[in-house]
Amino acid sequence: DTGVSQDPRHKITKRGQNVTFRCDPISEHNRLYWYRQTLGQGPEFLTYFQNEAQLEKSRLLSDRFSAERPKGSFSTLEIQRTEQGDSAMYLCASSPAPTGTYGYTFGSGTRLTVV
Amino acid sequence: SQQGEEDPQALSIQEGENATMNCSYKTSINNLQWYRQNSGRGLVHLILIRSNEREKHSGRLRVTLDTSKKSSSLLITASRAADTASYFCATDGGGGNKLTFGTGTQLKVEL
């Protein structure tokens, strides 16, 4: 297992377009998280899955954002009608258990630039 | 929203020196974790300390936790150029569902 994979690494899109990012977690990990990070800031929580169930969503996740994790394996994060404020690094992480036991394993992120 | 703040925001030291970073947080926690991030990359988990622990060691890392002051510190001893990165503290509020990250300390270790 090579860790958490995210695709693409970079995405440049025009304002108003839709984008979709993919995350492949470590196969044994049943928990998957999406975070967003802007320059000079720490990661901000977006949403969390346990297996295929989306158990928590941040208020940051507006109606234009949707995340799925079909069959509890890979996950996708879609942003519709992108805005310049969506420009950020989108990070995916996975863990095998609640956060109090193990740390997260992060992917390298997808950097989104909306022009 | 950010749970904690790291101090200092930026730190520049010479190779071989020790680096100390501090983290303050606002609400009660179940545990606190430290992560490292190299420029433009994902975060790497360094160490986890539970709320009933006061100090923990891992290699050249030493973490302390003072729940009465809602603060933690990360000490990196005998720093190396490869330690140059941003360091973030993250808190688990007890729900076990997510971590809340601080604003980070940028560490630069010069040869």
pLDDT in tens, chain B (111 residues): 556 788 899 999 999 999 999 999 998 888 999 999 998 888 999 999 999 999 999 999 999 999 999 999 999 999 999 999 999 999 987 666 789 999 999 999 999
User: Hey, are the CB atoms on B101 and A102 less than 8 Å from each other?
Assistant: no
User: Hey, are the CB atoms on B97 and A111 less than 8 Å from each other?
Assistant: no
Q: Which residues contact A94 (CB under 8 A, 6 or more apart)?
A: A4, A25, A26, A29, A31, A32, A33, A104, A105
User: Hey, are the CB atoms on A98 and B97 less than 8 Å from each other?
Assistant: yes
Q: How confident is the model at residue A93 (pLDDT cuts 50, 70, 90)?
A: very high
Share of chain A above pLDDT 70, in %: 95
In sequence order, what are the beta bridge partners of A103?
none
Contact list in A for residue B100 (CB cut-off 8 A) is 45
Residues of A with CB under 8 A from a CB of B: 4, 6, 33, 35, 40-45, 48, 55-56, 89, 91, 93, 98-100, 102-109, 111
> What number is the average pLDDT over the span A26-36?
94
Closest CB to A56: pick one of B31, B50, B97: B97
pLDDT given for residue B40 in this prediction? 80
Contact list in B for residue A55 (CB cut-off 8 A) is 97
Does the pLDDT of residue A92 top 60, yes or no?
yes
Q: A113 with A86: CB under 8 angstroms?
A: no
Question: Could you tell me the two tokens for A31?
Answer: 């928990």
Backbone angles phi, psi at B14, to 5 degrees: -90, 150
Q: Which residues contact A98 (CB under 8 A, 6 or more apart)?
A: A31, B96, B97
B10 to A61, A106, B63, B84: CA distances (angstroms) = 30, 23, 19, 11
A90 to A2, A16, A113, B27, B57: CA distances (angstroms) = 19, 18, 11, 26, 31
Contact list in A for residue B40 (CB cut-off 8 A) is 89, 109, 111
pLDDT given for residue B106 in this prediction? 96
Q: Which of A86, A85, A76, A80 is nearest to A16 (CA)?
A: A80
pLDDT given for residue B46 in this prediction? 96
pLDDT given for residue B68 in this prediction? 96
pLDDT given for residue A44 in this prediction? 94
What is chain A's mean pLDDT, rounded?
A: 93
Q: Residue A99 half-sphere exposure, CB side, CA atoms within 13 Å?
A: 26
- For B107, other C-beta atoms within 10 Å of its C-beta total 21
